[in-house]
Structure 1
Amino acid sequence: MATPPAEQLKRVLKPVHLWAIAVGLVISGEYFGWNFGWDVAGTIGMLIATVVITVMYITFIFSYTELTTAIPHAGGAFAYGYRAMGPFGGLIAGYATLIDFLFASPAIAISLGSYLHFLYPEIPVMHSALVFNAAFLLLNGFGVKESAAFSVFITILAVAELVLYLGIVSPHFKMSNYMSNPMPFGWGGVFAALPFAIWFYLAIEGVAMVAEEVKDPRKDIPKGYISALATLVALALGVMIVTGGITDWRKLSTLDYPLPEAIGIVLGKASGLTKIFASIGLFGLIASLHGTILASSRQVFAMARSGYLPKGLDIVNHRFKTPHWALVVAGAVSFIAIYIGTHTKNGTSQILVLSVLGAVVMYIMCMVSLFILRKKEPRLPRPFKAPVYPWFPGIALLITIVSLFAIMWFNFTVSIIFFAGLLLISIIFILMGKHKVALTDEMMATPDL
């Protein structure tokens, strides 16, 4: 029997730690990925999409935190979906979360490889992406965990670099560049840009999983999230707007390394400051890669422990206390995605969209679960309640549903892959009779890793 969560976890985290964890998980989104939105929407189209998605994340995060504090579980959305809607609810939410984190990791790894290739052109992107991915899989396998202090340090470093970047390039900003053909695809482009706007904030929900380790959840979680969102919004808008005005934005709209390229345009690629910027930029991407690999392996572990994935994946290494087979599976998916992404036109953006599609479905399942549990279990202890209920979760649900249909409309092939995978898993689920099996307390227990 697993040790109850209250005996496993220590309440040591303060708002500054929550800020660091949240920004650290997301910071890679400011370094790459968002620029693909320019390719489908232009500068103003992407700006509008980002404002809409910012509202969605503000309302979603505060609603999601209610679920996290009420039902602490390593499976996250999987546990909420199961509690609210039964086996199929858990299956859909768990599958979506897996896709979210499993494909965020290779997208970040490819960007890391691209940054390194920018510094040293003789190093192929795919090779370095695979090495980065393998290195952090090994670190996780050996039980290496980021301390809160290290999270603060590396996040401050990454934020400081973006501030430095803004300081260097902003004097070269020209409104004429930014407003050049600002919405080439009209309002349709705004909808097409939604997944790339989501990439600005994707994975911030991961910090809610440490709610049981926060000193004062009612006060500290809002402080941590508000400060993190304020930081990310300021950086997202600053980086996106300033970068769009230093040159013809079309030159940067399809690159995996837009910021080094932009600063190279301003200072010259041979400049020492350009190389220093690209080098420091690796730390921001590394922080996010470490977090997404950790999250994806724990999600595989939690679903296997609950019987939704093969049981062997829930084995914990006796020496290092890590789910090594779950890490192997997560790593295998990443390696395949990295190979495909680096050998396919627009490969990185397609992997990114697949990850975002998983996130959006997961967000929908969480908000639906919140509404159901408010009716189904009104006496469920809720250390933190969603503010302005039902408006916050309602707004988040509405925007995520619109985002889902927009992603499906503009990314038909990726959507077919996502839902075909869900259909296949559902058929296997039914054939194995899993939909008739009620999970025990032990199967749903928070794992002691």
Structure 2
Amino acid sequence: MEETKNLELKKTLTPFHLWVIGVGIVISGNYFGWNFGLADSGYVGMLIATAIMGIMYLFMCLGISELATALPHAGGPYSFARRAMGPLAGYLTGIGVILEYFIAAPIIAIGIGAYISFLFPAVNTIVAAAVMYVFFMIVHIIGIKEYATLEAILVFVALALLVLMYFVGLPEIKIEKLLGTGDTPLIPNGFKGIWGALPYAMWLFLAIEMLPMLSEETRDPKKDMPKGIISGIVTLLILSVSTTTVAIGLGGIEYMSTASDPLPAAVAAAFGNTYWLAQLLASVGLVGLIASFSGVILAYSRQIFALSRAGYLPPVLATLHKTRRTPYLAITLPGIIGLILVVLFNPDDLILISTFGALVSYISMNLSVIILRKKEPNLPRTYKTPLYPFTSIISLILAVISIFASVFANITFFMISIGIFVVAIIYYFAWARYRINKDAPEERVHEENIAVGDTNAL
């Protein structure tokens, strides 16, 4: 028990910090990526896809807000599934979360490196990405509060740029650029176009679900977690509709569907390449990418820390810095491996593995809300999911639909994703299940619950 106590994280976060981190880890999705689904979907199709994904994320956030108050542990998704469906389901959920963020981190880093290299051609992309990694790994090792302060600055700059674009661009929107001319179909490929746009619409919300992993670092998670999670997803819902509408209304569907930097491109299409806002978005817009990158490092390190503390992964990865109380090995080692992966493989393909891992965890978390309501109706919940079970069931169905959509994106990497989970299962049965630490908070609570049940049965 004393050994496990020495692996507890420092409590410093407030609802404001949670909102900052939640919005910050996602906000780069407004700056790039979402527009690549436009060719097949058009504006209306993208709006529908965004609404579908927005509903999935909103309803999931309502559910995980309940779970975060009942099970306020660093394991987050892993701890929810562990309690609801047992150790194997918890472990595989954790693997899905790690895949999501572990793969996403170096991909975003390469994007940042390419952006810096564009602004400063003498700087090599890989070198710039490596510098970003080193800097933010140091920030995270120093402490969560210090990181949250820096993240707040990045988020407010990124938000200010978006609001500025809305303010300047909204009066200049052209209806024909949104809806096309009279003989142009509103949704170029109908239902197939909407289906194809779903993975891109996910980028406007992907990663908000990481907030429960900060429960152990939140001052009062039973009250603060729902405030942080729900305020974050509501902010992202507003941004998603505003960004897509203004950007497409300025740049047009055809032009925007291939733009690697959609926001500066949209403003430049309407006002010219030399317009001050286009220049500002092209340079300062980099902070949105940096905000998300730093949040992704936080996410993968906390899930690896929790699984390692519980014995599913090598315990050395749960080692905390003696004075800062941060999991420095869970921060640095995956970062080094992730950067190597991006050098060796195509980031566009790796991102499919990241999305697959995310959707596995979404399915598991929605199932956990439903199962725990039936299995443990008396579990203390300071917040309960509104309109339950409707909200959790709808989010679950949409997550299942989305995971099958990834089959059509690239069947090879879909099978690679399946293969990763097969290897993870073999590893679990060959090694991990014999080394589970029952003193870890996520495991200890479960064992105590079993003991109470046995006593009641007697």
**Which category of TM-score, normalised to the shorter sequence, fits these structures?**
0.7 to 0.9
Q: Is the 8 A contact 2:65 2:226 kept in 1?
A: no
**TM-aligned CA distance change 1:366 to 1:340, over 3 Å:** same
- How far off is 1:438 after superposition? 5.3
1:3 corresponding residue in structure 2: 5
Q: Is the 8 A contact 2:62 2:385 kept in 1?
A: yes
**Cα distance in 2 for residues equivalent to 1:408 and 1:21:** 31
- How far off is 1:153 after superposition? 3.9
- How far off is 1:248 after superposition? 4.1
Unmatched runs of 5 consecutive residues or more in structure 2: 445-458
Q: Residue 13 of structure 1 aligns to which amino acid in structure 2?
A: T
- How far off is 1:186 after superposition? 2.5
2:362 corresponding residue in structure 1: 363
Is the aligned partner of 1:413 residue 2:400? no
Q: Is the 8 A contact 1:111 1:257 kept in 2?
A: no
**TM-aligned CA distance change 1:216 to 1:366, over 3 Å:** closer
**TM-aligned CA distance change 1:337 to 1:186, over 3 Å:** farther
- How far off is 1:249 after superposition? 2.9
- How far off is 1:443 after superposition? 6.6
**TM-aligned CA distance change 1:80 to 1:403, over 3 Å:** same
**Cα distance in 1 for residues equivalent to 2:139 and 2:240:** 30
SS across alignment from 2:187: coil
**Cα distance in 2 for residues equivalent to 1:325 and 1:372:** 34
Is the aligned partner of 1:399 residue 2:401? no
Unmatched runs of 5 consecutive residues or more in structure 1: none
**Cα distance in 1 for residues equivalent to 2:127 and 2:99:** 23
1:174 corresponding residue in structure 2: 174
Q: Residue 46 of structure 1 aligns to which amino acid in structure 2?
A: M
Q: Is the 8 A contact 2:93 2:361 kept in 1?
A: yes
Map of 1:28-177 to 2, 5 A cutoff? 28-143=28-143, 145-146=145-146, 150-177=150-177
**TM-aligned CA distance change 1:133 to 1:110, over 3 Å:** same
**Cα distance in 2 for residues equivalent to 1:25 and 1:203:** 6
Q: Residue 411 of structure 1 aligns to which amino acid in structure 2?
A: N
**TM-aligned CA distance change 1:230 to 1:322, over 3 Å:** closer
SS across alignment from 2:250: coil
**TM-aligned CA distance change 1:147 to 1:123, over 3 Å:** closer
- How far off is 1:399 after superposition? 1.1
**TM-aligned CA distance change 1:146 to 1:197, over 3 Å:** farther
Q: Is the 8 A contact 2:73 2:441 kept in 1?
A: no
Map of 1:43-442 to 2, 5 A cutoff? 43-143=43-143, 145-146=145-146, 150-180=150-180, 182-211=186-215, 213=218, 217-218=222-223, 221-340=225-344, 344=346, 347-348=347-348, 350-432=349-431, 434-435=432-433, 439-442=437-440
**Cα distance in 1 for residues equivalent to 2:305 and 2:226:** 29
Size of the aligned set, in residue pairs, is 437
Q: Residue 439 of structure 2 aligns to which amino acid in structure 1?
A: D
- What TM-score do the two structures reach when normalised by structure 2? 0.86
**Cα distance in 2 for residues equivalent to 1:53 and 1:415:** 20
**Cα distance in 2 for residues equivalent to 1:28 and 1:401:** 25
2:451 corresponding residue in structure 1: none
**Cα distance in 1 for residues equivalent to 2:100 and 2:325:** 25
- How far off is 1:63 after superposition? 0.5
1:19 corresponding residue in structure 2: 19
**Cα distance in 1 for residues equivalent to 2:149 and 2:434:** 45
- What TM-score do the two structures reach when normalised by structure 1? 0.87
**TM-aligned CA distance change 1:188 to 1:214, over 3 Å:** farther
Q: Residue 331 of structure 2 aligns to which amino acid in structure 1?
A: L
Q: Is the 8 A contact 1:102 1:333 kept in 2?
A: no
Q: Is the 8 A contact 2:100 2:354 kept in 1?
A: yes
RMSD over equivalenced CA pairs, Å = 2.9
Q: Residue 313 of structure 1 aligns to which amino acid in structure 2?
A: L
**Cα distance in 2 for residues equivalent to 1:254 and 1:117:** 20
Deviates more, 1:422-431 or 1:108-117: 108-117
- How far off is 1:94 after superposition? 0.8
Q: Is the 8 A contact 1:4 1:445 kept in 2?
A: no
